[in-house]
Structure 1
Amino acid sequence: MTPSDEPPARTGSARTGSARTDEAPTGGSRTENPRTDHATAGALERRHPGAHATSPREIPLRGWWQVVRRAVVRSAQDRVPLVAAGVAFFGFLAIFPTLIAAVLLYGLVADPTDLDGHVRQVAEVLPPDATRLVGQQLTDLVAGDQQGFSVGLVVSLVAAVWSASVGVANLVTAVNMAYEETERVGFVKRRLIALAFTLGAVVTFVLLVALVAVVPVTVTLDGVPGALLDAGRWLALAVVSAVALAGVYRFSPERRDARLPWVTVGAVVATVLWLLVSAGFSLYVTWFASYSRTYGALAGVVVLLVWMWLTSMAVLLGAEVNAEAEHQTDHDTTVGPWRARGERDAVKADTAVGRPDPPDAGPADDHTRRTRAPDTDTVHPRSGSTQ
């Protein structure tokens, strides 16, 4: 195609093979679209299954295999293990301020001394050494002077949430990296976002304790079998975790929000990975590792840090899966009215595997071209060649 033959910007549909009547040239040939110069819509779908998917359910298994494969490659390019280590470190610093805030909030509706036993039930997902470390800190907190629970509640809660927000801010930055978004807001707004997520995490933690520990105790009076209660406890833990992660994936990236189905998949993947990794690491620490002999009194700290590192990697891998799932389809995955590629204010929604970047690419697309590895079988709009 010569330059004079190229269609004007935003003339055709951003969805391959499904032209919109208000944008596609009337009576025009689809071959005038640079995305389909050398591949029909059917050929594009065969090469990249799910290229026209309107929801994750419409991506076939072969398409999901491509999504997972790209997510693994992107994780290596984004240095997810290294980034997760930073998130884990700052998350470790945020754990105990978060516990303080949780104790303060819990004290508004129940006896704070009951929180120790309830949290120990929730903390069964942690390795034994880490459980003892967190349990000891909780015991010290609830055993202290509780007269300040009403007088200094606001000041103490704000201080605890502010300290914990440092760790959450680093998690938000890491999720932006997974979505290939740059943080464009200032320090004040970024910290306010982190504070909002931190407060939400504290409230979620208190609700999780209520669901997993308090409710089963009440239900036990009705004669429900213990095995069923244990299964319900783990199911509640998984559901609450998945919902919380979906909120993080949807609202933390600095882009137009993705529709709920496009963040749910990664949340489920991250939750399943987290539960499996936690169970496996707990077994490893219990039966094979020798952290106590190697690190002595610091064994609990080291085990907790390693577990948080594994948790952070699971969360970031879930974000990578979400990002690549959006990248698999040409359909608009963002909230609001349908927009053409290049107008969605979201890197992964504005670009699609196997299709060239839109001719009116904005700053987000420039960032993608600088950081994204070349896609297989990407059609170049100018040369008409493929790689």
Structure 2
Amino acid sequence: MIPPARQLVPTRGRTAPPTCPAVGGRRPALRRTFSEFQDDSLTDWAAALTYYGVLSIFPGVLVLISILGLLGESATQGVTDTVNQAVPEDSIRKIITDAIGAADNGGLASVAAIIGLVAAFWSASGYVGAFMRASNTIYDVPEGRPIWKTLPIRLGVTAVIGVLLLASAVIVVFTGRLAESVGDVIGVGSTAVAVWDIAKWPVLLVLVSLMFAILYWASPNARHGGFRWVSPGGVLAVVIWLLISGLFAFYVSNFGSYDKTYGTLAGVIIFLVWLWLSNIAILLGAEFDAELERGRAIAAGHGVDDEPYVELRDDRKLRKKRNQRGSVD
């Protein structure tokens, strides 16, 4: 039986005292996180998120490229130089630079920007919707929120994360010649630009952690404390993401045979695999936050095997289904 939204299920299984070191603390939660990895099918959920991510990335790139077309040739050249420096893979670099070079037509760019913005926003909201379903699986809770509640959450989270992604893109792009040009326009010396080239990476990590925190807080149908600007799971996700990205880049550069296997599609395949690994890292962070909540519930006397171990945010959808089944019976 599904518990009410504001009431935990009564303890039925094994319990642990509040001081039990086997359930409390971050180290036991971390162990449970990796043990739950397979049970919650996180690799499959990461594949689903990768699909929605790809659907939203290309319209988003269209928006950015169209905006470049409106800004003029100098901005386009600056971004092209940055891409040539930052993207090591020749095939991906050529796709991006060719698309940037095609953005010189301002009239077409404005129309493409509008179309791309709408497509990117709706596709990205699909990613958030999939993440909400994955979060419910991670927290072992059903989705009890009606669509008139989940849809605004989905669109709102998409909008906020979209703004943060745009800020992150600006941080990455504003380097090299482009940063120097902007520095000259606003009257900032070359020293400030050099400092920014170093300081932008910690700022970027903070923005990424904030995006994770928003996803982790808003997605599940579970009451798990108030919003935290940086959650333990967000920190873990960033660390794992950096580690996975570094190891994958090292593997591709030294041992991978993607070029021989996939030919001209190697760059696309590499990007998809990296995106899938990145989503695994994000889901592991959410799992870690969930296991911390489980540890706190068990320490408070909740049954070790009882699920759900958190209060539901909303159970209206579930009560409606129960009432419909009751009327049929």
Range into which the TM-score falls when normalised by the shorter chain: 0.7 to 0.9
1:4 is matched with which residue?
none
* 1:51-85 Cα deviation digits (max 9, x unpaired): xxxxxxxxxxxx22101001111112101112212
Distance in structure 2 (CA, Å) of the matches to 1:137 and 1:95? 17
| Contact 1:48–1:354 (Cα < 8 Å) also in 2 | no
How large is the RMSD of aligned CA atoms in angstroms? 4.0
| Contact 1:212–1:236 (Cα < 8 Å) also in 2 | no
Structure 1, unmatched stretches of 5+, are 1-13, 15-33, 51-62, 330-350, 369-387
* 1:263-322 Cα deviation digits (max 9, x unpaired): 611111111211221122112112221111110121111101100110000000000111
Letter in 2 for 1:245: F
| Superposition deviation, residue 161 in structure 1 | 1.5
| Superposition deviation, residue 190 in structure 1 | 3.8
Ranked by relative contact order (alpha carbons within 8 Å, sequence separation 6 or more), the top structure is: 2
Once the two structures are superposed, the pairs formed by residues 289-304 of structure 1 within 5 Å of their partners are 289-304=256-271
2:315 is matched with which residue?
none
The structure with the largest helix share of the pair is 2
- Which of 252, 275, 281 is the matching residue for 1:314? 281
Corresponding position: 1:139 with 2:100: yes
Q: What secondary structure is seen at the aligned counterpart in 2 of 1:97?
A: helix
Could you say if the C-alpha distance between residues 90 and 268 of structure 1 is closer, same or farther in structure 2, counting changes exceeding 3 Å? Answer: same
2:21 is matched with which residue?
47
Letter in 1 for 2:21: R
Most deviating of 189-198 and 73-82:
189-198
Letter in 2 for 1:78: D
Distance in structure 1 (CA, Å) of the matches to 2:271 and 2:183? 32
| Contact 1:246–1:263 (Cα < 8 Å) also in 2 | yes
2:89 is matched with which residue?
128
**TM-score calculated relative to the size of structure 1:** 0.63
1:208 is matched with which residue?
168
**TM-score calculated relative to the size of structure 2:** 0.72
Could you say if the C-alpha distance between residues 79 and 230 of structure 1 is closer, same or farther in structure 2, counting changes exceeding 3 Å? Answer: same
Distance in structure 1 (CA, Å) of the matches to 2:230 and 2:140? 15
Corresponding position: 1:68 with 2:30: yes
Report how many residues are paired.
Answer: 294
Q: What secondary structure is seen at the aligned counterpart in 2 of 1:289?
A: coil
Structure 2, unmatched stretches of 5+, are 1-7, 313-329
- Which of 182, 191, 203 is the matching residue for 2:142? 182
Structure showing greater radius of gyration is 1
Identity in percent: 30
Could you say if the C-alpha distance between residues 162 and 241 of structure 1 is closer, same or farther in structure 2, counting changes exceeding 3 Å? Answer: same
* 1:341-387 Cα deviation digits (max 9, x unpaired): xxxxxxxxxx32572349xx9x955999xxxxxxxxxxxxxxxxxxx
* 1:92-143 Cα deviation digits (max 9, x unpaired): 22210222344456778x5597368548858988763674266247426634
Corresponding position: 1:193 with 2:153: yes
- Which of 222, 234, 249 is the matching residue for 1:267? 234
Distance in structure 2 (CA, Å) of the matches to 1:243 and 1:366? 23
Corresponding position: 1:352 with 2:319: no
| Superposition deviation, residue 246 in structure 1 | 0.6
Could you say if the C-alpha distance between residues 80 and 124 of structure 1 is closer, same or farther in structure 2, counting changes exceeding 3 Å? Answer: farther
Distance in structure 2 (CA, Å) of the matches to 1:200 and 1:315? 17
Distance in structure 2 (CA, Å) of the matches to 1:204 and 1:106? 19
Once the two structures are superposed, the pairs formed by residues 1-387 of structure 1 within 5 Å of their partners are 44-48=18-22, 50=24, 63-103=25-65, 110-111=71-72, 114=75, 117-118=78-79, 121=82, 128=89, 131-132=92-93, 135-136=96-97, 138-139=99-100, 142-143=103-104, 145-150=105-110, 154=114, 156-187=116-147, 189-214=149-174, 216-217=179-180, 218=182, 222-224=189-191, 229-256=196-223, 258-261=225-228, 264-329=231-296, 351-353=297-299, 355-357=301-303, 364=308
2:316 is matched with which residue?
none
Distance in structure 2 (CA, Å) of the matches to 1:319 and 1:45? 25
| Contact 2:23–2:29 (Cα < 8 Å) also in 1 | no
Distance in structure 2 (CA, Å) of the matches to 1:125 and 1:322? 33
